[in-house]
């Protein structure tokens, strides 16, 4: 197989894969999907751009104010939904800690009729589904640290020297054999 046949990932795709892997390790339901076609999507931003996402404003309104949404339906325009979203102190609540925020603002609308060409991470809030369009490196959840007993280094033939003090404290190793230091 030639190296030209290997699939290359852009930096953005690699960051999404890292973010999804971290979320899945922490039991956060996330998937990489294309958003369904909708009339308009509302662009939201947390903490001046720490992360950005798009949501369906009518889905959010149906959960936030079900009586008003049922009555208003098509009569309520998107700008009023945006104004209502921005008046809430916590417009979205998550059962997980994947997307933390202090301030969440609706910024604009995008026309969703044409659909999106690339899959985006899909997460669920209590109020609605959101598709993350941008995320800062600080919010990419690292995998949990593995803490175990001293052992062989899985990446080579030698002994992991960082484990020597732990092994000596345990008193399990009679003789410590190290390569020449």
For 12-44, the pLDDT digits (tens) are 777 778 888 888 888 888 888 888 887 789 999
- The reported pLDDT for the residue numbered 23 is 82
- The reported pLDDT for the residue numbered 117 is 72
Handedness of CA 104, 65, 133, 101 (dihedral sign): positive
Query: Which residue is associated with the tokens 């990489």?
Result: 32
Q: Flag the least confident range among 59-68, 137-146, 156-165.
A: 156-165
Q: Where are the alpha helices (DSSP H) in 73-161?
A: 78-87
- The SS3 of residue 36 is coil
Q: Flag the least confident range among 52-56, 112-116, 154-158.
A: 154-158
Domain ranges of the chain: 9-139
Mean pLDDT estimate for the chain: 75
Beta bridge partner(s), residue 134: 52
Tokens of 163: 């484990």
Sheet containing 129-135: give its strands across: 31-33, 120-124, 129-135, 51-55, 40-46, 104-111
């Amino acid at each position: 197989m030639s190296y030209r046949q290997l699939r290359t990932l852009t930096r953005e795709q690699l960051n999404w894969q890292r973010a999804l892997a971290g979320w899945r390790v922490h039991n956060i339901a996330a998937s990489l999907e294309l958003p369904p076609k909708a009339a308009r999507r509302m662009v939201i931003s947390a903490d001046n751009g720490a992360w950005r996402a798009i949501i369906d404003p009518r889905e959010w309104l149906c959960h936030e104010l079900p009586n008003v949404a049922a009555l208003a339906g098509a009569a309520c325009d998107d700008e009023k939904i945006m104004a209502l979203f921005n008046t809430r102190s916590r417009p979205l609540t998550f059962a997980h800690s994947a997307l933390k925020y202090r301030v969440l603002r609706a910024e604009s609308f995008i026309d969703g009729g044409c659909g999106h060409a690339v899959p985006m991470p899909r997460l669920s809030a209590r109020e609605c589904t959101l598709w993350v369009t941008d995320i800062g490196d600080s919010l990419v959840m690292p995998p949990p640290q593995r803490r175990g007993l001293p052992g062989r280094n899985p990446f080579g033939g030698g002994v992991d020297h960082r484990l020597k003090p732990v092994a000596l404290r345990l008193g399990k190793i009679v003789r410590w054999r190290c390569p020449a230091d």
